[in-house]
Amino acid sequence: DIHPDTSTDPHPNTPPVLQEPSVPQLDDIKREFHPSSGREPIEQSLYEYCLSQMPPDRRPPTDSEPWTPFRSRLDFEVSEFAEDTMLNHGQINTLIRLIRRCAANIDDFTFQKPADMQKSWDLASEKCTEFQKFDVHVPYKSKEEVFEMYARPLWKWTLDLVKDPHLANFFVWDAEKVY
């Protein structure tokens, strides 16, 4: 459709200027909202769409203590090291003795034994949906093979995410069709 320009014209006897509607570009997005929302469809570039999705007031606050529930950042870093290097309980005991002996500020490192570290990992794991074991049966060469698979139940994980007060503002709750 070509529509006449209805803006105020200083020369009323001139024929109206015709404006062509914008031509969609490759990365343009059209958003259609649920009819009961009363919102008109929006067409915008990918760049405009991305800007509209994260207003500054909804950006996540910076967590000044991202290592919690460990009692200190040092506890977390040492625990992470022990996990990454797959240390056994004897090795963790040795590591803890070495750190406690040479630490300049002993108050920042609170672990006394591997159980203290494990307790912190257990507390941290409770904040996430736990993995469950599933057996996957696959037919192969006239025989059924069974494989163990570990996964988080999708529905429980989704409920955990939407209940998290730090994440709730990032979900779009308005029904819309994006294409």
Q: What is the pLDDT of residues 126-158, one digit of tens each?
A: 888 888 999 999 999 999 999 999 999 999 988
Residues 117, 92 contacting (CB under 8 angstroms): yes
| Beta partners for residue 30, in sequence order | 43
Q: What is the pLDDT of residue 139?
A: 94
Taking 3-state DSSP, the helix, strand and coil percentages for the chain, each rounded to the nearest 5, stand at 40, 20, 45
Does 4 score more than 80 pLDDT?
A: no
Whether 13 has a pLDDT exceeding 60, the answer reads no
Q: Name the one residue in this structure whose structure tokens are 């003795």.
A: 97
- In terms of DSSP bridges, do strands 3-4 and 143-151 run parallel, antiparallel, or are they unpaired? unpaired
Average pLDDT, the chain: 82
Q: Are 129 and 154 in contact, with CB atoms under 8 Å apart?
A: no
Res 128: pLDDT: 83
Q: In this predicted structure, what is the pLDDT of residue 114?
A: 93
Distance set, CA 82 to CA 42, 90, 107, 143, 156 (Å): 52, 11, 20, 41, 30
pLDDT(80) > 80: yes
Q: Does 164 score more than 70 pLDDT? A: yes
Name the DSSP letter for residue 106. Answer: G
Is the omega angle on the peptide bond into residue 4 within 30 degrees of 0, that is, cis?
A: no
Please give the residue that has the higher pLDDT: either 103 or 3: 103
| pLDDT for the residue numbered 71 | 87
Residue identified by tokens 């915008």 is: 44
Q: Percent of the chain, pLDDT > 70?
A: 82
- Indicate left, alpha or beta for 36 from its phi (over 0: left) and psi (-120 to 50: alpha): alpha
pTM: 0.38
At residue 178, φ and ψ (nearest 5 deg) are -115, 125
Percent of the chain with pLDDT over 90: 30
**Biggest alpha carbon–alpha carbon distance for the chain:** 95
Alpha carbon distance 178, 175 (integer Å) = 10
Q: Which residue would you say has higher pLDDT here, 73 or 2? A: 73
